[in-house]
Amino acid sequence: MFVTSAFAQETAPATAEGATHAGTAVPAEEHGTFPPFNAATFPSQILWLVITFGLFYLFLKRVVMPRLGGIIDVRNDRITQDLDQAAKLKGEADAAVAAYEQELAEAKSKAIAIGQQANDGAKAEAETIRKKIEADLEQKLGEAETRIASIKANAMKEVGNIAEDTASAIVEALVGGKADKAAISAAVKSVAR
């Protein structure tokens, strides 16, 4: 170990009893100020300060700053790539949205066309069915009118016979005997005219 004489001096015994005491006291008269503040050592301190900061500056310039610059460049490149990729993906998303909206519009127009077609088909079918039902009803109505006319004609033919039978039954009930059928028939025919 390196020890200077100024810092490691033994002092003489200071007691009267003859005991010795070893110590490392620094006499005040040799060093009056704190060594870094001593004006006699300023030139060497400044030299070492310049050398230390020079080496530190070179270390920063040659080692630290290039690494930091490289890291910043890599981050800038990554950010630029991410922004380019985001713009590309946004463009693809916008194209997909536009295609979706176009397909949706086409589907809506097809649905409207299909609905209109189905509506027109249903109207045409309903009109055809209505005309067929009306034709069937007209035919049945004609047949019913023909039957009614024939039933009425038959009933009118029978009215004379029924009137003759009824008149003869009334005459027989009133007179009490058999009525003359020829006279009753002539009377009913004269009234029917």
Residues 25/11, Cβ–Cβ less than 8 Å:
yes
Residues 162/185, Cβ–Cβ less than 8 Å:
no
Is residue 185, in this structure, part of any structural domain at all? yes
The pLDDT tens digits of the residues spanning 19-50 come to: 555 556 555 445 578 878 888 888 999 999 99
Is residue 145, in this structure, part of any structural domain at all? no
Is residue 162, in this structure, part of any structural domain at all? yes
Is residue 97, in this structure, part of any structural domain at all? no
Is residue 93, in this structure, part of any structural domain at all? no
The pLDDT tens digits of the residues spanning 75-94 come to: 999 999 999 999 999 999 99
Which comes out higher in pLDDT, residue 181 or 148?
Answer: 148
Write down the pLDDT at residue 1. 42
Is residue 123, in this structure, part of any structural domain at all? no
Write down the pLDDT at residue 36. 80
Range of the domain at 161: 156-192
* Total of domains in the chain: 1
Is residue 57, in this structure, part of any structural domain at all? no
Is residue 4, in this structure, part of any structural domain at all? no
Model pTM score? 0.38
CA 71 to chain centre: 42
